[in-house]
């Protein structure tokens, strides 16, 4: 039975809907003050990913750190917003950059509205690995982190890391290490390691070598001399041919020689056409 001051009826459902839609649009438009204005003075925000419970005094920094950073940067909703009385349920996902679209966070929020303001938020995050080309099934598990980053911030870290690699190409340095990347991006070594190992499922050096291989493949597509493949590998930052050949086989499913033969044959076919 609901308490007299906390009734759940059709009228309350509509009042809750109005608050939740304002909240949704405030996040969408990156309006920090509008978001904070919708929090009840006695709000309790439970971020189970960080195993953290926050009150109003802590939420300005939390919201600042988690708002979208670019216009139009939206979460992908995986279901309509469900509203019943005082409670709303929102589910969304965000794919993680660097995973080839195979890893994402699915996040759910249970929001309770009271007195026209948001009184409770319980936020959960599940890490999902999509179906692999080999046919392996989807794996999902509740995700937690004690590294001071929310699921949204880990998604931002993945984007920042990919942007840094694409723009500055630090992987061209064969001696690149984790400390250099941490210093350049402003994240800690532990945060980057957690993202790569626990979320994306790969080591730092595998991530770097994949970036080197992508750089090499783009060079070949742009017309680099395929006959100098070993030199191209060193120029891309690989510090050994064995590491290059292993990375190449894992990514392409064939040796560099077989790949070059394949693209050469394809080019000849196109020329004849």
The 10s digit of each residue's pLDDT in 181-210 is: 999 999 999 999 999 998 888 999 999 999
Q: Which domains does the chain have, with CATH numbers?
A: 10-146 (3.10.450.50), 169-273 (1.10.10.60)
Sorted by sequence, the CB contacts under 8 Å of residue 198 that are 6+ apart come out as none
The residue that leads in pLDDT, 146 or 38, is 38
pLDDT of residue 80 exceeding 80, the answer is yes
Is residue 212 a contact partner of residue 114, using CB atoms and an 8 Å limit? no
Which of the four pLDDT bands, split at 50, 70 and 90, describes residue 271?
low
224 or 244, higher pLDDT: 244
* DSSP letter, residue 78: S
In 3D, which of 255, 212, 258, 218 has the Cα closest to residue 235? Answer: 212
Q: Is the pLDDT of residue 3 over 60?
A: no
Of 137, 130, 126, 127, give the one whose Cα is nearest residue 100: 130
Q: Per-residue pLDDT for 129 more than 60?
A: yes
Closest CA to 98 of 170, 180, 183, 204: 204
Please give the pLDDT value at position 74. Answer: 59
| 8 A C-beta contact, residue 46 and residue 122 | yes
pLDDT at 5: 56
pLDDT at 25 over 60: yes
Condensed to tens digits (0 to 9), the pLDDT of residues 133-177 reads 544 444 454 456 667 889 899 999 999 999 999 999 999 999 999
Alpha helices in the chain (DSSP H): 10-28, 32-37, 56-66, 151-168, 178-185, 189-193, 204-221, 229-235, 241-252, 256-272
Q: 93 and 78 in contact (C-beta within 8 Å)?
A: yes
Range among 98-107, 173-182, 249-258 with highest mean pLDDT value: 173-182
Lowest mean pLDDT among 5-9, 55-59, 75-79, 153-157: 5-9
The answer to which of 2-11, 114-123, 220-229, 249-258 has the lowest mean pLDDT is 2-11
Find the Cα–Cα–Cα–Cα dihedral 155, 187, 192, 157, rounded to 10°. Answer: 10
Sign of the CA dihedral 2, 5, 9, 14? negative
Distances 96 to 75, 100, 152, 188, 196 between C-alpha atoms, Å: 12, 8, 10, 19, 11
Could you read off the pLDDT of 206-232 as tens digits, one per residue?
999 999 999 999 998 887 776 789 999
In the predicted structure, residue 257 carries a pLDDT above the cut 60: yes
Region of poorest pLDDT, from 21-25, 124-128, 142-146: 142-146
| Cβ atoms of 176 and 215 closer than 8 Å | no
Q: Name the pLDDT band for 90 (thresholds 50, 70, 90).
A: very high
For the chain, the average pLDDT equals 87
- Work out the pLDDT band at 273, boundaries 50, 70, 90: low
Report pTM: 0.83
Structure letter (DSSP) for residue 131: P
**Which residues partner with 120 through β-bridges?**
44, 112
Q: What is the pLDDT of residue 269?
A: 66
């Amino acid at each position: 039975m609901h308490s007299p001051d906390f009734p759940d009826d059709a009228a309350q459902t509509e009042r809750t809907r109005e608050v939740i839609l304002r909240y949704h649009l405030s996040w969408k438009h990156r309006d920090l003050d509008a978001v904070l204005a919708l929090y009840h003075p006695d709000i309790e925000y439970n971020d189970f990913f960080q195993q953290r419970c926050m009150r109003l005094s802590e939420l300005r920094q939390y919201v600042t750190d988690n708002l979208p950073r670019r216009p139009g940067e939206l979460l992908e909703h995986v279901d309509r917003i469900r509203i019943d009385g005082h409670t709303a349920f929102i589910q969304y996902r965000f794919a993680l950059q660097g995973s080839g679209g195979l890893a994402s966070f699915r996040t759910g929020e249970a929001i309770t509205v009271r007195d026209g303001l948001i009184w409770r938020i319980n936020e959960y995050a599940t890490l999902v690995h999509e179906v692999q080309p080999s046919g392996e099934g989807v794996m999902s598990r509740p995700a937690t982190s004690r590294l001071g980053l929310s699921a949204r911030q880990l998604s931002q870290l993945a984007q920042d890391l990919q942007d840094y690699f694409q723009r500055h190409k630090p992987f061209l340095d064969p001696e690149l290490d984790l400390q250099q990347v941490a210093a350049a991006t402003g994240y800690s070594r532990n945060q980057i390691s957690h993202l790569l190992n626990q979320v994306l499922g790969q080591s730092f050096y595998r991530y770097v070598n994949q970036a080197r291989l992508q750089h090499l493949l783009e060079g070949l597509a742009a017309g680099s001399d395929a006959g100098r493949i070993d030199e191209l590998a060193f120029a891309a930052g690989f510090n050994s041919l064995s590491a290059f050949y292993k990375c190449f086989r894992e990514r392409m499913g064939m040796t560099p020689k077989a790949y070059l033969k394949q693209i050469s044959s394809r080019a000849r076919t196109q020329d004849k056409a």
